[in-house]
Amino acid sequence: MRVVVPFIQSILFLLILCTLPQLALAQATVTLSGYVRDATDQGVLPGASVAVPALNTGVTADEKGFYSLPLPVGRHEVVISFIGYETVAREINVNRTQRISFVLPQIANELGEVIVEGSGTLEQKLQTTQMSVERLTTREAKLLPALFGEVDLLKTLQLKPGVQNGGEGTSGLFVRGGSSDQNLYLLDEAVVYNPSHLFGLFSVFNPDAVQSVDLYKGGFPAQFGGRLSSVVDVKLREGNTKKLGVSGGLGLISSRLTVEGPIVKDKGSFILSGRRTYFDVFTRQINKMNIDDPEYNPIPNYYFADYNAKANYKLGDKDQIFLTGYYGRDVFGFNSASSFNFDFTWGNTVGALRWNHVFSPKLFVNTTASFTRYEYDVTNKIDQFSFNLASDIRDIALRTDFEYQPNERHTLKFGATATDHIFGVGRLQAGSEDGRLDIGSDVSYRGQEAALYASDNFKPTDKLQLEYGLRLTGFQSGSDGYAGLEPRAAARYSLTPNTSLKASYALMYQYVHLVTNSGASLPTDIWYPSRKSVKPQRSQQVATGVSFLLGGGQFLLTNEVYYKWAQNQIDFKDGAQLFVNSDLDEEFLFGKGWSYGNELYLEKKTGRTTGWVGYTLAWSQRKFAPQRGTTGINNGDDFYPTYDRRHNLTVVVLHRLNERLNLTGSFVYSSGAPTTLPQGRFVFQEVYGAEAVAVPIYPDRNSYRLAPYHRLDLGLVWNMKPNRWFDESDLTFSVYNSYNRRNPYFVYFDQVEDPDTEQVTGYRARQVSLFPIIPSVTYNFKF
């Protein structure tokens, strides 16, 4: 163990946490518990409110839609509400601990009430200790305009304060100054290692299959760990338990189809959902049309497809099992008329089996066994030579999470996780048909990661609420091991019924690292374990915030300030050999990073006009001192990473014109991205006397700023009347980049040539933009 861990102290602390509630005020109460579900498809409704207004008490359903509400014996009016659903009030004679599940009907027209967020009411958001979290449901994301009409939950999250994108149109997330590999993507509690298709232009999460996404930017609850900067918790839908249904959509570049229905009515359901792009359909036709043109350079075939499946079944009153599967692939192929063939595939495979057991209304357990694999495979054949390069990461994980509510003042969460990782860093096979060339290399490692955690949500008074916890983590790879203690704390104090102060602290360790020097999400990025000379990444974050409920509860204004500092941040030597390198450790460079900022957020969730305005003022910096025979990065001086943005403004407005028409718009502005441009050049002739070339000389890292980025997207959703084919259908019109702004994607230097002599006469700087104005239309249906 390289980090000395006071294990006994840690265990004692965890035990103290577990026993704390028993020391709290004893009060004779009974507990009402159960699930809150959608009346139509029986899907659970995380975040739904179950309250007894007369007692000024209530709880929010957890991420599984389960609630547990301690109440004094007596007859109470229980009010169940959730944005987008009709509020239900039921009078219940509570004389014993009992389980009652509620169903909420959707508001008659799905889009009758425009919804921005589904995390419950603004008042609930004001009252919770959890800060720095954003929840989004597919229903909401589908209302917003999208690039090519492809609804993308991760891109919608980029519209939230503190979240940056990785470039024009990409779905990667850079949260509060963290890099893109510092996000933990969970799909029904199984890790997803590469959340993107096609350079990150699309995320792997098919919106038709997803129920909701929670993004934690800070104040991380103790049950989450393993990445420094964020947790993206994606929950799949469970399928309609009442009747068989089909839904789908036809878009500009892809189509989707979903089938769902009961396995046994009211006991179990399933959902199968798939989508596929059709780039390759067009490119094959174009190639076919040009087959006789000897000058024609064929366009490679490319498509991506992903499939989601989920089934659940109630084994009894107290047990339910869930089975989740995901399979996605990007397929790229190039077969030339000559003997050059190139095939490149990559994607994730994910499976999770979850068992949900209610011991009692006060004690609930969720146990998940999961498998995940991300892999890429490159096969290249030139004449008699063939090459194959592959890499993958495979996890088998088991986790169990308990939730225990001994009384109305305490909610305890505790559990454990264990993961076995196999890092297939690189596998190369090269050979020739005659056997004269035969090279093989396989670099792989194994690692085991485990965690134990406990936390308590404690309400000492009606005004003060605390959440504190501890997470004990460890990682072993071969003879190298690391461990760490991760304290977590959050507090909320209600100054007035409409004003809350919040604060949080979290320490995080990350034991697996993404090996990439591209600064973008590429399919060839590989994951690497912590080893003897590759220490775990570590970060700490403090955040404070204040929230005001304004306009009679219609608006919530939140301001959060954060500071995050991190050690053992990873970058790579210039010219690092990242592929099939058994000494990859030697290519790493280690440094520190820090970021800070202020996030201002005004949101409105009800009424004909809803939306939000977010403004972030932020700084993010890194420093890599001279080391390992190098001058470090940027000669050891501080530098801004490419995702640093000083100002970021987002405005999202959704307006219901009438029962069938909804108008939406989003505007984003962000300061220019840092980039590195060559300062100078020199002439290099080379040894063999070929034409001389200009070699760029790069000065300080990221010392140039691109032009600011801004864009306005507009959307219109037209809900059509039911017809003989479809119960529901809509046409969604989107205009991406509606004023056709030429936003910078990258800048390069180009030589200017005399068209007659082809002599170089000068140099110029060129800015490349990716997406001009792009109108699109998508047709969605359901029957």
Partner 1 sequence: MGLYLKNILAFSTQRLLPLVLLVGLASCDNLQQDIDVVIPNGPAQLVIECYLEPNQRAQLTVSETAPYLSSPIPVVPEDVTVVIAGPNRQRETLLYDPGFNFVTGKVYTHRGRNRLLIQPGDVFTLEAKDKKGRVVTGTAKMPTPVPLDTVEFNFNDRPAQLREAIVLARFRDPLGTLDFYRFQIHRDSISQEPEVDYTLEDRLNEGKEVTLGTSYIFDPGDSLIVSLYHFDEPYYRFLQSTQNARNANGNPFGQPAAVQSTVQGGIGVFTILSYERRSLVIP
Site residues (CB under 8 A) for partner 1, limited to 728-767: 742, 745-751, 760-767
Nearer to partner 1, 274 or 523 (CB): 523
First to last CA, the chain: 58
Among 27, 518, 533, 723, binds partner 1 (CB under 8 A): 518
Distance of closest approach, residue 383 Cβ to partner 1, in angstroms:
5
What is the chain's alpha carbon radius of gyration, rounded to the nearest angstrom?
27
Distance of closest approach, residue 590 Cβ to partner 1, in angstroms:
17
Nearer to partner 1, 77 or 585 (CB): 585
Q: Taking CB under 8 A as the criterion, which residues in 581-620 touch partner 1? A: 581-582
Nearer to partner 1, 628 or 681 (CB): 681
Distance of closest approach, residue 636 Cβ to partner 1, in angstroms:
13
Q: Report the run of H or E that residue 349 belongs to, with start and end.
A: strand 340-360
CB contact burial 283-312 (16+ within 10 A = b; e otherwise): beeebeeeeeeeeeebebbbbbbbbbbbbb
Where does this chain touch partner 1 (CB under 8 A) — which range of 22-30, 69-77, 294-302, 775-783? 294-302
Nearer to partner 1, 579 or 779 (CB): 579
What residues pair up with 610 in beta bridges, in sequence order? 654
Distance of closest approach, residue 681 Cβ to partner 1, in angstroms:
5
Neighbour tally for 562: CB within 10 Å: 24
Number of helical (H) and strand (E) elements in the chain, helices listed first: 5, 47
Nearer to partner 1, 222 or 589 (CB): 589
Nearer to partner 1, 167 or 268 (CB): 167
Nearer to partner 1, 93 or 339 (CB): 339
Distance of closest approach, residue 769 Cβ to partner 1, in angstroms:
5
Nearer to partner 1, 493 or 579 (CB): 579
Residue with tokens 């305890």: 412
Among 439, 495, 657, 731, binds partner 1 (CB under 8 A): 439
Is residue 524 a contact point for partner 1 (CB under 8 A)? Answer: yes
Is residue 436 a contact point for partner 1 (CB under 8 A)? Answer: yes
Distance of closest approach, residue 304 Cβ to partner 1, in angstroms:
11
> How far apart are the C-alpha atoms of 411 and 734, rounded to whole Å?
44
Residue with tokens 């997470």: 471
Is residue 199 a contact point for partner 1 (CB under 8 A)? Answer: yes
Among 72, 112, 300, 708, binds partner 1 (CB under 8 A): 300
Nearer to partner 1, 148 or 509 (CB): 148
> How far apart are the C-alpha atoms of 592 and 570, rounded to whole Å?
8
Nearer to partner 1, 478 or 772 (CB): 772
Q: Taking CB under 8 A as the criterion, which residues in 358-417 touch partner 1? A: 378, 380, 382-385, 387, 389
Show the tokens assigned to 635: 């000669």
Handedness of CA 717, 721, 725, 727 (dihedral sign): positive
| Residue type at position 258 | T
DSSP letters spanning 454-480: EEEEE-SSSSEEEEEEEEEEEEEETTE
**Residues in contact with partner 1, shown as a per-residue x/- string from 112 to 141 under the rule CB under 8 A:** ------------------------------
Cα Dmax for the chain: 95
Is residue 25 a contact point for partner 1 (CB under 8 A)? Answer: no
Distance of closest approach, residue 147 Cβ to partner 1, in angstroms:
9
φ, ψ of residue 153 to 5 degrees: the values are: -65, -35
Nearer to partner 1, 158 or 616 (CB): 158
Where does this chain touch partner 1 (CB under 8 A) — which range of 81-89, 424-432, 459-467, 601-609? 424-432
Nearer to partner 1, 109 or 631 (CB): 631
Comparing CA positions, the residue from 591, 556, 557, 586 lying closest to residue 573 is: 586
Distance of closest approach, residue 730 Cβ to partner 1, in angstroms:
24
Instruction: Specify whether the CB–CB gap between 417 and 398 falls below 8 A.
Output: yes
Among 259, 485, 520, 600, binds partner 1 (CB under 8 A): 520
| Residue type at position 316 | G
Comparing CA positions, the residue from 347, 501, 515, 351 lying closest to residue 425 is: 515
| Residue type at position 662 | N
Among 340, 460, 607, 647, binds partner 1 (CB under 8 A): 340
Show the tokens assigned to 16: 């103290």
Nearer to partner 1, 34 or 195 (CB): 195
Distance of closest approach, residue 756 Cβ to partner 1, in angstroms:
16
Nearer to partner 1, 609 or 631 (CB): 631
> How far apart are the C-alpha atoms of 175 and 169, rounded to whole Å?
17
Nearer to partner 1, 203 or 455 (CB): 203
Distance of closest approach, residue 275 Cβ to partner 1, in angstroms:
16
DSSP letters spanning 175-200: ETT--GGGEEEEETTEE-S--EEGGG
Instruction: Specify whether the CB–CB gap between 447 and 410 falls below 8 A.
Output: no
Distance of closest approach, residue 199 Cβ to partner 1, in angstroms:
6
Among 201, 232, 506, 735, binds partner 1 (CB under 8 A): 201
Nearer to partner 1, 609 or 767 (CB): 767
φ, ψ of residue 289 to 5 degrees: the values are: -65, -25
Nearer to partner 1, 755 or 762 (CB): 762
Q: How many C-alpha atoms does 555 have within 13 Å on its Cβ side? A: 10
Among 121, 771, 776, 780, binds partner 1 (CB under 8 A): 771
Q: How many C-alpha atoms does 163 have within 13 Å on its Cβ side? A: 26
Is residue 627 a contact point for partner 1 (CB under 8 A)? Answer: no
| Residue type at position 437 | L
Q: Taking CB under 8 A as the criterion, which residues in 309-338 touch partner 1? A: 332, 334, 338
Q: Report the run of H or E that residue 780 belongs to, with start and end.
A: strand 774-782
Among 246, 430, 550, 561, binds partner 1 (CB under 8 A): 430
Q: Taking CB under 8 A as the criterion, which residues in 163-192 touch partner 1? A: 167, 169
Nearer to partner 1, 7 or 748 (CB): 748
Where does this chain touch partner 1 (CB under 8 A) — which range of 241-249, 449-457, 550-558, 674-682? 674-682
Q: Taking CB under 8 A as the criterion, which residues in 264-283 touch partner 1? A: 279, 283
Where does this chain touch partner 1 (CB under 8 A) — which range of 136-144, 220-228, 571-579, 650-658? 571-579
Comparing CA positions, the residue from 144, 138, 136 lying closest to residue 118 is: 136
Which residues, other chains included, contact 237 with Cβ-Cβ below 8 Å and sequence gap of 6+?
41, 43, 138, 209, 210, 211, 260, 271, 310
Q: Taking CB under 8 A as the criterion, which residues in 696-715 touch partner 1? A: 696-699, 701, 704, 707
Distance of closest approach, residue 733 Cβ to partner 1, in angstroms:
18
> How far apart are the C-alpha atoms of 307 and 448, rounded to whole Å?
29
DSSP 65: S
Q: How many residues bind partner 1 (CB under 8 A)?
A: 96
DSSP 303: E
Among 98, 99, 257, 302, binds partner 1 (CB under 8 A): 302
Among 112, 481, 487, 678, binds partner 1 (CB under 8 A): 678
Where does this chain touch partner 1 (CB under 8 A) — which range of 16-24, 173-181, 460-468, 520-528? 520-528
| Residue type at position 486 | E
Q: Give SS3 for 11.
A: helix
Q: Taking CB under 8 A as the criterion, which residues in 230-259 touch partner 1? A: 253
Comparing CA positions, the residue from 115, 69, 70, 106 lying closest to residue 88 is: 106
Q: Give SS3 for 584.
A: helix
Comparing CA positions, the residue from 714, 778, 716 lying closest to residue 252 is: 778
